Each structure stands twice: as C-alpha cells, then as structure tokens.
Amino acid sequence: MTLRPLGDRVVLKFVEAEETTKGGIILAAAAQEKPQIAEVVAVGPGGVIDGKEVVMELKVGDRVILSKYSGTEVKLGKDEYTVARQSDILAIVE
C-alpha cells in the first residue's frame, strides 16, 4: 500500500531523533522532541487550490524542515508518515 497525496500536500517521513544530548546524556523516548527534519516521500500534483495556482516546489527525496505542530500523522503498517501542505514546510535542507 502506498500514499498518493492530493492537491498541494506532501507525504513526509521523519528522520530519527537524536537519542543522546551533546553532553552524552541518553534521553528516554518520552523526553525526546518530535523531529522537525523529514524526507519527502511523495508529492501531490499541485494545481488550483482555493482559487490560486499552486506550483509544487518540492520533489521526492528532499529533506525539509516542517512546522512543529503541522500535518496529520498516518500509520501504514509499521511505518509512520505525516501528510502536510506544502505551505507548512519552512525550508529545504541542502
């Protein structure tokens, strides 16, 4: 099963969070913050959204920074993804 986003949405898979601090302290899973860097897995077609032309600037494989509380979390089998609008993405990590 795969996810195919519609409109101006993208499917993201988060990069694993650091389990230790820079000082070497190991963090429990509950103490770790949700990572904000994700990899683009799928991109919607764009088009006219709410009366405005939306051109998709992202492509599969891009690493991006996502707004902290944006997107919808989806679990497909053992994998977890986030579906978000392109406008919720703050930057591409190069």
Find out whether 80 and 3 touch, Cβ atoms under 8 Å.
no
Of 59 and 17, which is predicted with more confidence? 59
Residue 31 CA: distances (Å) to CA of 21, 26, 67, 82, 83: 11, 10, 19, 21, 24
Q: Which residues pair with 26 in a beta bridge?
A: 20
pLDDT tens, residue by residue, 40-84 = 999 999 988 888 898 999 999 999 999 888 899 999 989 999 999
Mean pLDDT, residues 9-31 taken together: 67
Mean pLDDT, residues 14-37 taken together: 61
- Whole-structure pTM value: 0.78
Helix, strand, or coil here: 81?
strand
Closest-CA residue to 94 (of 58, 68, 70, 69): 58
